A and B are shown apart, each in its own frame.
Chain A
Amino acid sequence: MKKFKFILVLFLVLLLFTPIVASNVIAKDSIIRLNQQVSLYWDTVDEKDPIIPRDDLKKLNVTFEYSFDHGLSFSEGLYLNYVNYKDFEFTQTKHSPEGAYSKAKIDLEILDMPSWCHATFRHAQAIANLSSLFVGKIPLYIILDDDAPAYEQGYIQVKAKIRSPPAISYFNVFEKVFNLTFTPSYYPIIDVNLPEVNVKEIEPYETAIFPLDISNLGNDKTIVTLEVENLPNDWKATVTDSIIIEKNSSKKAQLSIKPPRNFGYTDEVGILRLKVTPKRAYDTSQIGDSLTISFLIKNKGVSVEGDGLFSAISMIIIVIIIFLVAGLYIRKKIKSKT
């Protein structure tokens, strides 16, 4: 009799749980199935817009797509509770989204990003309605250091994790890592080093040569154009028109200044300016701040040729003639008197 009772109870217990297990496990995949997942991506507009390093505190919108599905009756009961346990109703359509646990919380954690990038989400969590598909946006703020490589793809590795509101939950814990890419803009920085000084004293027939070491401290290949300004009249200057410099490297340029060649003694000071402008090598419309370098050249000495030679010789001849005439006249006079 005891055995019969035990078997009966066992049979009844099995009868109780078998359909539950069968209806959920066999028909679907598990007894409790509350599946949720999320995907992250940029707004297409934001992605195309390059970020200017250092100065630009960029706000980009990250779109998250949350999708949810649940299993059969038991799972649906759980789901409905999470949706709104205060005004529990059978159908999804009639429940109110308001409630303590009606939202799915998505934890957003930045796992990795380049050392020249600093980024943070508006909030570390995003929320989504427990519906089959929910699309939302959360702002992400980015600032880049000035050494961010221009127009090279940067990335922000974000881990999205969906946790159920309570500590112990029937929801599946969804966790996925996404790579959000962005593009840094061009940030030109150049430096001009003068191996020699910018002041020189030269003879009238000499040419002042100033070597220039131009360094590209910016974040992309740069064309540096050189332009002479405020050149004194009749002075001639020759400068390297432009040079292409790779990132974090330097190249040499040269400025030659030739003063006018005047006959006789010259002592003059010439001051001129050199304007050095960086431009992006692949897009010369992107121009940086120009550096200005002033040069002082003293042209001092005697020249036996050049402009004014004829006039000077004629002047000397005239003076000599005057002296001779005067001398002869005096001599004649003296002779005549003696």
Chain B
Amino acid sequence: MKSLLNGGTYIKKKRNPYTNLCILFLSFVILLHVLTPIANAEDSEQTYQEKEELPDGLIPYSPFPKDGEFNNFITYLLQNPSDVISYTRKNTILSLGYYLAFYKQTFSLGAIDFGTDTPTIEIGYNETVSFNIGKVNLEEYKTSNFDNISLQPFIKARSFSFIVDQFPGNRTDSWLIDFTPDIVIINEDNTKANYNVSVTLTLTSPPIGDKAIQSGILRIKQSPVQSYGSFWDMPFPLNLIYTLQFGQTSGVTSKPDYENMRDVEILVKVKPYHNVKIETPEVTTINPNQVKPLRIGIENLGNYKDTIGFKIANKGSGITLIDPVDITLKPGEIKDTILGIAAEPNLIDYGTLHRIRIQAYSLDDPSNIISEKLIILKTEGIYISPVTLGSVVFSVIVVLFVIFILVNIYKITSKKVFKNLKEKLKFTKEKRKVKKPKKKKEKLKESPKDKSKKESKEKTEKKPKETEKKKEEKIEKKKQNLKAKTDKSEINKKRILKKIKREQEKARKKLGGKK
């Protein structure tokens, strides 16, 4: 440029003597490197590494020499120039590596490692669990707040927001998550401010059918965003060139860097949720002395395979019940269990209602009743058992038999009594006949009334004798009539037989004549 400005003539500049001196020194250093055997360099390096100590009198090399160390270094250089040459060569290269690493570290942005102190949480349905997330101190595996996050040069602010990448069970509609604060902003003013990000996780809805939520991973992602300052004002434009984003990034807030995202994974153990739905018929009628199985529908509303047991809280009276059968159900599965009922053999039941409370529990936790249902049973009807029927028949027979016996006994006894009475009467009458008239004749004369009585009595005594005679006569007449009738019928029979015989003979004769 200068040559063009000076009218197109090339003006040769004289070299500065200091420049020549520098070139000479540089050449000397280079020559030292060249002249020094390669093997020696390797050997020396190995020896340093093995011994882990420096040769006597050699001070550890540092690019930041402390006070006094430099003078010692010079004295050692003067005394042992060959050692110092090889040593210097090595350390020159070492320093190159050191500063290159320093440079790159300074101008590179690293993602912040964040995590939580609660890598596992246990949560149940309708429960809320809180935990903190923050910057991780990996040496102690502990989480700290988002503080002391240094801002690299040219970056004015950084922010971190959080998104959930995966919920346990891969269902988003059952989970509720809240980050407080939603976003962490670190700028030049508050790099040392404490940011305690509290996460509240709630499992909201109960299990729905076979899509029940079980244990799984909760993955939270951190999305860092950085805002760059104006690069044009920076004193080191070379650094800006190094970033190769001079124009693009100056004063720009970057988009979330998803590639460099770090995520935190939390193992969520979803507690077993035991619940069932019991479905029963409204009213079940059972006859006396009948046994009946009652099917009860059970739906598993829990989130795991569950074995459900049953209890009957109030068994009532008049019926015998057995506990329903234990069943195992998958989440959302519906199956029937059977309640066995036996009604007592009541003769007549006009309709008795029995309230039976069935309680369901999980075999995992038998003390906790998870569901309850009232079943109404109605016992109604008539029942005559063969035993009662037989006993009734038997008792009737016995009663009849007893009555028969009693009647007979009564009859026998009554006949005896009558006879005895008759005999007594006869005896008394005879006695009276014999004794009384004599006394009366002796003491009193008979009155006209007595006379009439006696006459009437005599008449009555005579009358039966007459009637008996008449009866006998009648009977004899009837006998005679019957005999006469039988005689007549026999005569008729003989006549008829004779007629038949005659006809038969006539017929024979006719037949004989024809022949």
Q: Which residues of B lie under 8 Å from residue A295 when comparing CB positions?
A: 322, 340
Q: Which residues of B lie under 8 Å from residue A199 when comparing CB positions?
A: 291-293, 322, 338, 340-342
Cα(A80)–Cα(B101), bound, Å: 9
- Confirm or deny: A217 has a beta carbon within 8 angstroms of a beta carbon on chain B: yes
Closest beta carbon of chain A to B272's beta carbon, Å: 8
Cα(A52)–Cα(B16), bound, Å: 83
Residue among B60, B102, B342 making CB contact with A298, cutoff 8 Å: B342
Residue among B27, B30, B110, B326 making CB contact with A165, cutoff 8 Å: B110
Which residue of chain A lies nearest to B119 when distances are taken between CB atoms in the complex?
A122
Contact A19/B34 with A81-B105, A302-B386 known, Cβ cut-off 8 Å: yes
**CB atoms of B386 and A265 under 8 A apart:** yes
Residue among B52, B94, B272 making CB contact with A80, cutoff 8 Å: B94
Number of A residues contacting the other chain (C-beta, 8 Å)? 91
- Confirm or deny: B299 has a beta carbon within 8 angstroms of a beta carbon on chain A: no
- Confirm or deny: A304 has a beta carbon within 8 angstroms of a beta carbon on chain B: no
Q: Which residues of A lie under 8 Å from residue B267 when comparing CB positions?
A: 57, 118-120, 141-143
Complex interface residues of chain A between 158 and 177 (CB less than 8 A to chain B): 165-170
Cα(A311)–Cα(B110), bound, Å: 102
- Confirm or deny: B109 has a beta carbon within 8 angstroms of a beta carbon on chain A: yes
Which residue of chain A lies nearest to B215 when distances are taken between CB atoms in the complex?
A143
**CB atoms of B97 and A81 under 8 A apart:** yes
**CB atoms of A289 and B97 under 8 A apart:** no
Contact A77/B30 with A120-B119, A168-B104 known, Cβ cut-off 8 Å: no
Q: Which residues of B lie under 8 Å from residue A88 when comparing CB positions?
A: 62-64, 98
- Confirm or deny: A94 has a beta carbon within 8 angstroms of a beta carbon on chain B: yes
Contact A126/B97 with A267-B345, A334-B408 known, Cβ cut-off 8 Å: no
Complex interface residues of chain A between 56 and 79 (CB less than 8 A to chain B): 57, 72-79
The B contact surface, by secondary structure, is mixed
Q: Which residues of B lie under 8 Å from residue A127 when comparing CB positions?
A: 138-139
Contact with B along A308-338 (1 / 0, CB 8 A): 0000000000000001001000100110010
Complex interface residues of chain A between 19 and 53 (CB less than 8 A to chain B): 19-20, 22-23, 26-27, 32
Q: Which residues of B lie under 8 Å from residue A294 when comparing CB positions?
A: 322-323, 325, 340
**CB atoms of B94 and A73 under 8 A apart:** yes
**CB atoms of A120 and B265 under 8 A apart:** yes
Contact with B along A120-144 (1 / 0, CB 8 A): 1111111100000000001101110
Contact A81/B416 with A91-B52, A118-B216, A167-B108 known, Cβ cut-off 8 Å: no
Chain B residues touching A, range: 35 or more
Closest beta carbon of chain B to A4's beta carbon, Å: 14
Cα(A103)–Cα(B139), bound, Å: 9
Cα(A4)–Cα(B291), bound, Å: 121
Residue among A15, A77, A146, A291 making CB contact with B34, cutoff 8 Å: A15
**CB atoms of A267 and B305 under 8 A apart:** no
Cα(A293)–Cα(B328), bound, Å: 12
Contact A190/B97 with A88-B64, A120-B266, A271-B322 known, Cβ cut-off 8 Å: no
The A contact surface, by secondary structure, is mixed
**CB atoms of B412 and A334 under 8 A apart:** yes
Q: Which residues of A lie under 8 Å from residue B325 when comparing CB positions?
A: 192, 194, 198, 293-294
- Confirm or deny: B70 has a beta carbon within 8 angstroms of a beta carbon on chain A: no
Which residue of chain B lies nearest to A107 when distances are taken between CB atoms in the complex?
B262
Residue among B36, B108, B330 making CB contact with A168, cutoff 8 Å: B108
**CB atoms of B385 and A267 under 8 A apart:** yes
Contact with A along B231-275 (1 / 0, CB 8 A): 000000000000000000000000000000011111101001000
Cα(A32)–Cα(B97), bound, Å: 9
Which residue of chain B lies nearest to A101 when distances are taken between CB atoms in the complex?
B105
Q: Which of B37-45, B177-185, B451-459 contacts A (4 or more CB under 8 A)?
A: B37-45
**CB atoms of B291 and A73 under 8 A apart:** no
Closest beta carbon of chain B to A44's beta carbon, Å: 22
Cα(A15)–Cα(B23), bound, Å: 14
- Confirm or deny: A18 has a beta carbon within 8 angstroms of a beta carbon on chain B: yes
Q: Which residues of B lie under 8 Å from residue A217 when comparing CB positions?
A: 305, 328, 330
Cα(A100)–Cα(B415), bound, Å: 139
- Confirm or deny: B115 has a beta carbon within 8 angstroms of a beta carbon on chain A: yes
**CB atoms of B110 and A146 under 8 A apart:** no
Residue among A15, A27, A78, A298 making CB contact with B33, cutoff 8 Å: A15
Contact with A along B328-341 (1 / 0, CB 8 A): 10100000001011
- Confirm or deny: B475 has a beta carbon within 8 angstroms of a beta carbon on chain A: no
**CB atoms of B34 and A18 under 8 A apart:** yes
Cα(A253)–Cα(B502), bound, Å: 96
Cα(A25)–Cα(B472), bound, Å: 172
Cα(A126)–Cα(B137), bound, Å: 10
Closest beta carbon of chain A to B30's beta carbon, Å: 5
- Confirm or deny: B149 has a beta carbon within 8 angstroms of a beta carbon on chain A: no
Q: Which residues of A lie under 8 Å from residue B363 when comparing CB positions?
A: 289, 291
Cα(A79)–Cα(B100), bound, Å: 11
Residue among A12, A77, A194 making CB contact with B96, cutoff 8 Å: A77
- Confirm or deny: A205 has a beta carbon within 8 angstroms of a beta carbon on chain B: no
Cα(A80)–Cα(B60), bound, Å: 13
Closest beta carbon of chain A to B294's beta carbon, Å: 9
Contact A73/B328 with A197-B293, A298-B291 known, Cβ cut-off 8 Å: no
Q: Which residues of B lie under 8 Å from residue A337 when comparing CB positions?
A: 412, 415-416
Q: Which residues of A lie under 8 Å from residue B323 when comparing CB positions?
A: 292, 294
Q: Which residues of B lie under 8 Å from residue A121 when comparing CB positions?
A: 119, 265
Closest beta carbon of chain A to B96's beta carbon, Å: 6
Which residue of chain A lies nearest to B101 when distances are taken between CB atoms in the complex?
A81
Which residue of chain B lies nearest to A293 when distances are taken between CB atoms in the complex?
B325
- Confirm or deny: A263 has a beta carbon within 8 angstroms of a beta carbon on chain B: no
**CB atoms of B320 and A296 under 8 A apart:** yes
Which residue of chain A lies nearest to B342 when distances are taken between CB atoms in the complex?
A269
Cα(A296)–Cα(B304), bound, Å: 31
Cα(A87)–Cα(B119), bound, Å: 35
Instruction: Beyond the given A143-B215, A217-B305, please list 12 additional residue pairs across the A-B interface where CB-CB is below 8 A.
Output: A19-B36, A19-B41, A76-B45, A85-B105, A169-B104, A191-B328, A267-B345, A269-B320, A298-B342, A330-B409, A334-B411, A337-B415
* 6 closest A-B pairs by CB: A77-B97, A191-B328, A81-B101, A197-B293, A166-B108, A77-B94
> Would you list 16 pairs from A and B whose C-beta atoms are within 8 A, ordered by A residue?
A16-B30, A73-B97, A74-B94, A77-B94, A77-B96, A85-B98, A85-B102, A123-B115, A123-B136, A126-B138, A165-B105, A199-B322, A265-B390, A267-B289, A269-B291, A326-B401
